[in-house]
Amino acid sequence: MWIEWLEWAPLLEVAAVVLCAIFGIFVLFWLLQWWSDRTYRPTRAEVRVVLQAAIEGRLDWYALDDFVSVRIAYDPQLDQLRERFNSILDERGCISREMTKSNPNTLTLSEEGLARVRAVISDLDNMQS
């Protein structure tokens, strides 16, 4: 009986190594996902600051890129507002073609864009925590 098990021992060792490797890779990816979900976690107040800066013409292109490019995975309501802001930026006529003379690296919205971003801020203020 033991002799039969000894014949299978190399295969069992290989199977154990493969299973450990698969488990290790699973744990590695799980940890990486856990870590990456926490890299961009803006609060509602921080989202409001970004939107207010867009209205005031103080939102630079780097902050704009961070906000519009990275989804807010932990809060679907905030991500929905971010998507609405993205759709405003995609609309024709919402971004002013005039650049501010003091800082040409900022987003300048047209009157229509300003009104629509104010509506997004209003919805943000009305959201339940």
List, for residues 88-122, the tens digit of each pLDDT value.
988 887 877 665 555 677 888 888 989 999 999 99
Tell me the per-residue pLDDT of 48-75, one tens digit each, with 9 for 90 and over.
999 999 999 888 888 888 899 988 888 8
Q: Where along the chain do its domains lie?
A: 1-36, 44-126
Question: Residue 6 pLDDT more than 70?
Answer: no
Q: What's phi and psi for 72, nearest 5 deg?
A: -100, 90
User: What's the mean per-residue pLDDT of the chain?
Assistant: 85
Cβ-proximal residues to 95 (8 Å cutoff; 6+ apart), any chain: 89, 107, 108, 109, 110, 113
For 1, 9, 10, 15, 51, the CA distances from 4, given in Å and listed in that order, are 5, 9, 12, 17, 71
Residue 61's nearest CA partner among 107, 121, 22, 97 is: 107
Question: Residue 34 pLDDT more than 90?
Answer: no
Question: Residue 3 pLDDT more than 70?
Answer: no
Q: Note if the pTM is more than 0.75.
A: no
